[in-house]
Amino acid sequence: MADASARRIVFTGASGGIGTMIRPLLAPLYPGLVLSDKVKPKDLLPSETFVAADLTKPDEVAAAVKGADSVIHLGGYSVEGPWDTILQANIIGCYNLFEAARQAGVKRVVFASSNHAVGFYPRKRKIGTDVTVRPDSRYGVSKAFGEALGALYADKHGMSVTCLRIGNVGPRPLDVRRLAIWISPEDIVQLIGIGLNHPDIRFEIVYGVSDNETSWWDNSRAQSLGYRPKGKSEDHRAHAEAEQAKIGPDPVGDLFQGGTFCASEFTNDVKRAGP
């Protein structure tokens, strides 16, 4: 593995919510980090460079990843949206990224997947990474697509691909659901580091979650790769419960891991939803 300072690492989605949170933590670890997004991030550091790219435009994506050793792919549309928005940003855009990376000889991709790829699993069931995808939204479908695409590029083209099924990144959990799925910025940076550096990775799916007592996910695969999360959602339980009291009950969302993503546009009988 080349020294971090000698590797060109491209970080898409650098101006987004997660990108803004983790950039200050990534910068000292990966000097010369190349940031990419449609909009230039604020407060660009001297060690960072920026290349504007719209994921829906193959030529711009190719220019962004040219000469890259690795890509941290957080770019795309980060919540539920109309089909065409999801299709362009998260499906066509994701394909453009992986194909440009292949053509550029990129060795590693860390892909920001999501818990919403498996959001229709019930909260009472603990799941690993080997379950059938059960997306809770068009957004979740796009993340399941990204995982499948990553597997294709790993198996067919020899790329090392790590998919992070991210829960919710932030300084603390925002409600009771997020007590189960929260991940601190420091812990997600640790997982990104595993994806960029672990010598044995071919294709992996791991959960982007901290050391949470109430977690719905078996993250033993991440632990076997050296993941040692420091964050603990229980440290923030009082805040999460106080915020939850303001939200009130959700007869659909409260049953499933995907929460409001499951409840939105829901027309089924809850007894027929989920595995």
Neighbours of 75 (CB within 10 A): 29
3-state secondary structure of 174: coil
Q: 207 an active-site residue?
A: no
3-state secondary structure of 219: coil
Chain centre distance of CA 58: 22
Q: How far apart are alpha carbons 204 and 110 in whole angstroms?
A: 10
Q: How far apart are alpha carbons 140 and 207 in whole angstroms?
A: 15
Strand partners, 256: 122
Which backbone phi and psi does 108 adopt, to 5 degrees? -135, 140
Neighbours of 250 (CB within 10 A): 14
Q: How far apart are alpha carbons 73 and 254 in whole angstroms?
A: 30
Strand partners, 109: 71, 161
Compute the radius of gyration of the chain from its Cα atoms. 18
Q: How far apart are alpha carbons 187 and 232 in whole angstroms?
A: 10
Per annotation, catalytic residue among 30, 95, 121, 139: 139
The answer to whether 261 touches 233, Cβ cutoff 8 Å, is: no
Which string of b and e fits 186-215 if b means at least 16 CB within 10 Å? Answer: ebbbbbbbbbbebeebebbbbbbbbbbeeb
Residues taking part in catalysis: 139
